[in-house]
Amino acid sequence: MYPYSELNTVHLEVTTKCNARCPMCLRNVLGGKVNPHLPLTELSLADVKKIFPVQFLQQLHRIYLCGNYGDPMMATDTLEIFEYFRASNPTIHLEMFTNGSGRSEDWWMQLAKVVNRVRFSVDGVGDTNAIYRRGTKWPLIMRSMKAYFSAGGAAEWDYIVFQHNEHQVEEARALSKELGFSAFNVKKTGRFFSNTKSTVKDMQEVLNPDGEVEYYLEQPTNPAYRNKALAKEEQIVSEFGSLKSFLAQTPIDCKVAKEKSIYVSGQGHVFPCCWTANQMYPWYLPEKSAPIWKMLNALPGAADALQAKKHSIQEIIEGVFFQKNLPDSWNIKGFENGRLFVCGKTCGQGFDAFRAQFQESEARV
């Protein structure tokens, strides 16, 4: 994929724990009960020091803490981990993604002194934010933002647009200016997509912990706020018969192979990206039955071959999973033959719902 010496970026998920129940996140079942397959865990400062020795940190340009399942503010040692990274590499770019609904004012003020930037994921103004960010509290979010900015922190605001909050985009943009955000990013989610049916959908049900439907999330009515990649489905189906058939054969251009980055999970597993790692625990499949497990179980030691608490990151990156098995799968046509669906969906040419999320960003000096 790429040599260890060229690795420059780490996406670290320091914990799988979260205070929110976002319906489009695989850590819970459509906003209801917690994913029964997901280990709820976190990396300690001691774990991080073992996985990321000083010499390794000095070759990196960027580390960002962003949840595949969890929110980094929920981990016990997040602040201390950032301080360790900063002390080990004073010029490294440190960033955190969060819903902001937690921690003390002092914690946020201390964080502002260590990181380069925080990206607050807030999808509404007032109570509308919790329609998607279920479990978050608006007063806590505002308190966190203000405390962080009071200590000189730099931040961007990511705003996912749904039908229920599209009327508040400009109100949120104005508030972001008032608070001091350096950018306001309108995010056009690519998650109105059924992974089980491989089709785009207009709405998604939201469940309570008992599995009962409470309400639905719907795509924005304004086409300008819709993900343009998802809008290609009809054209793709007319040419290839189905979106799944297209993704099974389209050339794969791996994003992280070009970026020279890796993802480290809250358990300590090292993957090229969060998307492949996300396939370990889908709640909608029997436990450990997703296609990624066939690839993992073929490794010496199975998933432990990617465990950074047992093997160095260099050893993992130079191993067969990174250098042969996964890259070879990109050249395979047909998911039944070994191509991973997640690779076709995320990095397949001609359908990039991830990139299409950020087609409007307002950066400020």
The domain that holds 121 is classified in CATH as: 3.20.20.70
Instruction: Let me know if residue 12 belongs to a domain.
Output: yes
Instruction: Let me know if residue 309 belongs to a domain.
Output: no
Tokens read off for 226? 């819709």
Q: Are 344 and 255 in contact (CB under 8 A)?
A: no
CB atoms near residue 289 (< 10 Å)? 11
Instruction: Let me know if residue 94 belongs to a domain.
Output: yes
- Cα(48)–Cα(86) distance, integer angstroms: 13
Beta bridge partners of 204: 217
Instruction: Let me know if residue 326 belongs to a domain.
Output: no
Instruction: Let me know if residue 304 belongs to a domain.
Output: no
- Domain that residue 39 falls in: 4-224+256-283
- Angle subtended at Cα 17 by Cα 15 and Cα 18, rounded to the nearest 5 degrees: 120
Q: pLDDT per residue over 27-51, tens digit each?
A: 999 999 999 999 999 999 999 999 9
Instruction: Let me know if residue 323 belongs to a domain.
Output: no
**Cα–chain center distance at 167:** 26
Place of tokens 């749904």: 162
Query: Residue 196 — pLDDT band, cuts 50, 70, 90?
Result: confident
In the chain, the number of structural domains is: 1
Q: What is the mean pLDDT of residues 211-231?
A: 95
Q: What is the pTM for the complete model shown? A: 0.95
Beta bridge partners of 96: 65, 118
- Cα(182)–Cα(212) distance, integer angstroms: 40
**Lowest mean pLDDT segment, chosen from 7-11, 31-35, 233-237, 323-327:** 233-237
Specify the pLDDT at position 197: 87
